[in-house]
Amino acid sequence: MVKTSLPREEYLISGHFACPGCGAALSMRIALKALGKKAVLSIPACCWAVIPGPFPYRNLEVPLLYTAFEVTGASVSGLSEGFKAMGEDAIVVGWAGDGGTADIGLQSLSAAVERGHDFIYVMYDNEAYMNTGIQRSSATPEYAWTTTTPVGKREFWKKGWKKDMVGIMVAHRIPYAATATPAFPEDMYRKFKKAASIKGPKFIHILSPCPPGWRFPEEKTIEVARKAVLSKVFPLYEVENGRWRVTFKPARFIPVEEYLRMQGRFRYLPEDAVRYVQETVDREWERLLRKEELSKEGPIW
């Protein structure tokens, strides 16, 4: 067994209300290990609005303000400036799902990043509206089954590639943006540490596998997340002031089919669709490497 270098302190304590195998619960645990006691969370409507438990229960050792679905960007702005005015030393963290970030919350997030307040914004991306029961979002991958993109006789699957949130954030000239997944806890931990050390807005995109939504057994969360990285579906990288850096380059890639076939949401996928996904992730990976190379000469926003 390999020991990780993560600190022993726990800020996510036992008794949470997440589903077994929830990637978002694991991610919060790792993130808070990195951020520690000074973290103050703002959480909109999402799975994590339920995971801490109903009143009077809580399972987080840091303060938490629940907010409305579309306002996480506005909320972290208010918290950040409020704590500054009160002379409090806090790490303000917005913790929202993909729907609350890429769909309904995009406007307030964009504005908050443009204004440049000091906060970390986390999109834990389970690739659909999981809290309401697996409805498609703009972060749902192409070809995925959801309850609103059912596989019927005429209509099937989610159409169109998923929204590139890191790209959108980088276009705001954000000081720091990164991707992470609980399958690579040390990489995630380091990225949260780094984010906390940088002034201004920071954005972390976490791929957060969801056993009931993606249709895989609950003990496979880490394996699914790992395969997302190894298949180039979800590369691990960071963009610091326009400098792109791939933080994990697999020595050997796996075919995208290995990732897709693990999940019931892709079970109807025909061969040509698998080929299309493979070609797309191959091309995106090359594009990422080029950005990494080119940004050595100067920032690429």
Partner 1 sequence: MKAVLTGNESAAWGARLSRPKIVAAYPITPQTTIVEKIADFIANGEMDATMIHVESEHSAMATCISAEATGVRTYTATSSQGLALMHEMLIWAAGARLPIVMSVVNRAFAPPWSIWSDHMDTVAERDTGWLQFYAENNQETLDSVILAYRIAEDRDVLLPAMVTEEAFILSHTVEPVEIPDQGAVDDYLPPLDLPHRLRPGEPVGYGSLMMPDQYMEIRYRMARAMRRARRVEEKAYEDFWDTFGRLYAPVEEYKMDGADVALVIMGSIASTAKDVVDSLRERGRKVGLLRIRTFRPFPAEEVRKALSSMDAVAVLDRSYTFGHLGALATEVRSALYGSSPPIKNYIVGLGGRDVRVRDLEWIVSDIEKVAKEGLDREITWVNLRGGEE
167, two tokens? 């790209």
3-state secondary structure at position 107: helix
Nearest approach in angstroms of CB 178 to partner 1 is 23
300 forms part of the interface with partner 1 (CB under 8 A): no
Interatomic CA distance for residues 36 and 8, integer angstroms: 11
142 forms part of the interface with partner 1 (CB under 8 A): no
52 forms part of the interface with partner 1 (CB under 8 A): yes
> Which residue in 27, 77, 101, 137 binds partner 1 (CB under 8 A)?
77
Question: In the beta sheet, which residues pair with residue 203?
Answer: 121, 177
For residue 133, which of 26, 50, 59, 28 has the smallest C-alpha distance?
50
Site for partner 1 in 9-38 (CB under 8 A): 37-38
Q: Give whichever of 101 and 108 is closer to partner 1, judged by the CB atom.
A: 108
131 forms part of the interface with partner 1 (CB under 8 A): no
288 forms part of the interface with partner 1 (CB under 8 A): no
Q: Which part of the chain contacts partner 1 (CB under 8 A), choosing from 89-97, 167-175, 259-267, 271-279?
A: 89-97
Looking at 14-103, which runs of residues are DSSP E strands?
39-43, 64-66, 91-97
Residues 256, 232: contact at Cβ < 8 Å?
Answer: yes
Nearest approach in angstroms of CB 68 to partner 1 is 6
Instruction: State the burial class of residue 7 (Cβ atoms within 10 Å of its Cβ: 0-12, 13-18, 19+).
Output: exposed
60 forms part of the interface with partner 1 (CB under 8 A): yes
Peptide bond into 44 cis (omega under 30): no
47 forms part of the interface with partner 1 (CB under 8 A): no
| Count of other CB atoms within 10 angstroms of residue 127 | 25
Q: Give whichever of 47 and 229 is closer to partner 1, judged by the CB atom.
A: 47
88 forms part of the interface with partner 1 (CB under 8 A): yes
Q: Rule CB under 8 A: which residues touch partner 1?
A: 37-40, 42, 49-50, 52-55, 58, 60-68, 70-71, 73-79, 81-86, 88-91, 107-108, 110-111, 115
